[in-house]
Amino acid sequence: MRNISYALFIGLLALFVATTVVEAFSFVPSSTATKILLNNNHHDNINIHSRIRYRTSTKIGRRRSNNNLMMKSPNSPPPYPVRITVMGGGNFGLALATVVARKGIPTTLLVRSDEVAAEINETHRHPRYMSDIVLPRTVRATTNTKSALSDATYIIHAVPVQYTREFLQTVKDDIPSGVPILSASKGIETSSLGFMADILKECLGEDRSYAFLSGPSFAREICEGVATAVVIASEDLMLADDLAELMAGEDFAVFTSRDVIGVEVGGAVKNVIAIAAGMCEGLGLGTNAMSGLVTRGCGEMRRLGIYLGARPSTISGLSGVGDTFGTCFGPLSRNRGFGYRLGQGETPEEIRASMKEVAEGVDTSIALVKMIKERCKGYRLDLKYPILFGVAEIIEGNMKPLEGLNLLMTFPTRMENYDERYD
């Protein structure tokens, strides 16, 4: 009996080894390897053999993980050399730097101030943002773009949307050709009415891969190790998979998607809905009103997303409805806080002057309405997107928060889902 069990064990082991070898040699065929080299999808200094080993090792790791055979801890570093640079030293830049650095990955934080860089390197704390949070020791900060970017395997972009174009113009010459960019910025640029995917391609070219991270993810909770789930979308699904595996840990779940426009629409619109939800709370209108407002706002997000080519499942997922819930009801939300103060009677100018960080939904609300008018066809767009249009009117000073809510409540009776009237 013992001999039979031993023979069975040896047979299963041989089958597993054979399967693994087949995967390793078949995962990247010669045509794909040639395409990788020609397209230069990763760092110029990485040769074709290391790229094949990189892709193969990550694929095998995922297969083994699915079969509970992977031995490494989810918080351990990858089995290949990686260096991460995070552009932007605000709250979310610090949070994402913390995520990757906790896995033992060398992480460089590109900041604007020499004093801030020195403080982070000496005390492992940011002097201005979340100063009570101790950063991992594998995070170092610098203002030198060349030293920060020259050897980066991946670059994480965490600069606010409205400042992105100007910032990228100053650093683009130091970003190595082919290095993938992961954007964590959400919103629409007021000058071009473009999403982050548009801005990045215009500034850094289309000969590299881009990915976009979104979902209900407050920076402080990430740094404190509170369970968080996000999604990374990319047209290059291999990049999305690699980034997900790189960043995922015991308290940071990462899902993937190909629906870039869906993730971008959700990340932009949810901030505007959060301003409306904050105003509702600031006016003291209760849970019924806020729940109805947020739900109707999600309907407008879905309508716009589908018109622009997004998948409904993305809008109802982490980057859409999920992020909307967190931003509208979470006490750490800057956009919700901005709306709350509007509801209390402060002006947009007064609120902006007192805020340390940007509430992206403020500028996005104006850009969003302009974009809808420019791209969306149809009669009475303000009836299809009353919340989005109403927030923009209030931000621009053309309407008071209570007036906007009264308009919503006195809209003509119609079907709950506007798009279904012609089904």
Pull the structure tokens for residue 415. 């079907």
> Which DSSP helix (H) or strand (E) runs through 25?
helix 2-26
245 C-beta neighbours (distance < 10 Å), count? 17
Q: Are 82 and 246 in contact (CB under 8 A)?
A: yes
Cα–Cα distance, 135 to 129 (Å, whole number): 12
Question: CA 301 → CA 298, 309, 332, distances in Å?
Answer: 5, 12, 22
Give the residues across from 181 on adjacent strands.
155, 210
Q: Are 269 and 304 in contact (CB under 8 A)?
A: yes
Q: Are 184 and 208 in contact (CB under 8 A)?
A: no
Q: Are 300 and 385 in contact (CB under 8 A)?
A: yes
Residue ranges with strand state E in 240-381: 252-257
Active site residues: 270
Would you mind telling me the total number of residues written for the chain in this entry? 423
Cα–Cα distance, 239 to 2 (Å, whole number): 47
